[in-house]
Structure 1
Amino acid sequence: MISSPTIAATSAATAYDRARHAVAPAAGLPQGVTNAATDFARVMERVDLAATGAMTGKTETHDLVHSIAQAEIALETVVAIRDKVVEAYQEILRMPV
């Protein structure tokens, strides 16, 4: 019989795999934005591969830690950019028409 944590992990992995298309860069964006989104998706893909490799014993722990650090920097950058875009949008909303 399969244990409950194993079923939960499989279910989470399946749900994550189905949702991966949501982080793919959208068509019609400026080239710089598309490149940045593609680079971010590539960094996240590497961390996924490193994590999977670490769980299966195919990847060294050092490589996993390094990819997680890169992902953290990439995520902080994306959040900072998002905050600036939201701030600019709110500033535009405050402009008199």
Structure 2
Amino acid sequence: MSIDTALALQGYAGARPATRPEPQPTGAEAGFARLAGGLDATIRQGETTAMAAMTGGADPHALVQALAQTELAVETAVTIRDKVVEAYQEILRMPV
């Protein structure tokens, strides 16, 4: 009895993702994941509101509010990035 190699590889490839555990973020990873998800949602909401305003589906007040929220979210992300880079550079300057 012979087993077709392609069929065996296909069966293995299909079963492998089912047995691999999903990594769960913990601690700081979970916080950064929530932050990134919130940033993404805010930017998408701003884009959606901007597109609706261009087609006449949203009032100008909603557009200004969405753009202000998006600007604040981006500024927050840039500030966090700058702090992380600064901390990394400080670690690099430490004597060994």
Q: Same fold (TM over 0.5)?
A: yes
Alignment root-mean-square deviation, CA? 1.4
Q: List gaps (5 residues or longer) in structure 2.
A: 1-22
Q: Identity rate of aligned residues, in percent? A: 48
Which consecutive segments of 4 or more residues in structure 1 shift more than 4 A?
A: none
Q: Secondary structure at the match of 2:57?
A: coil
Q: Work out which structure has the larger RCO, using CA pairs closer than 8 Å and 6 or more positions apart in sequence.
A: 2
* d(CA) in 1 for partners of 2:60, 2:92: 48
SS in 1 for 2:64: helix
**Secondary structure, counterpart of 2:58 in structure 1:** coil
In 2 relative to 1, CA 28–81 (structure 1 residues): closer, same or farther, beyond 3 Å? Answer: farther
For the structure 1 residues 78 and 56, does the alpha-carbon distance in structure 2 shift closer, same or farther, using more than 3 Å as the test? same
| Runs of 5+ unmatched residues, structure 1 | 1-26
1:44 aligns with 2:47: no
SS at match of 1:69: helix
Per the normalisation by structure 2, the TM-score is 0.70
Q: How does 1:1-97 map to 2 (within 5 A)?
A: 30-97=29-96
Q: How many residues align?
A: 71
The structure having more radius of gyration, on CA atoms, is 2
Report the TM-score, using the length of structure 1 for normalisation: 0.69
- Partner of 1:39, secondary structure, is helix
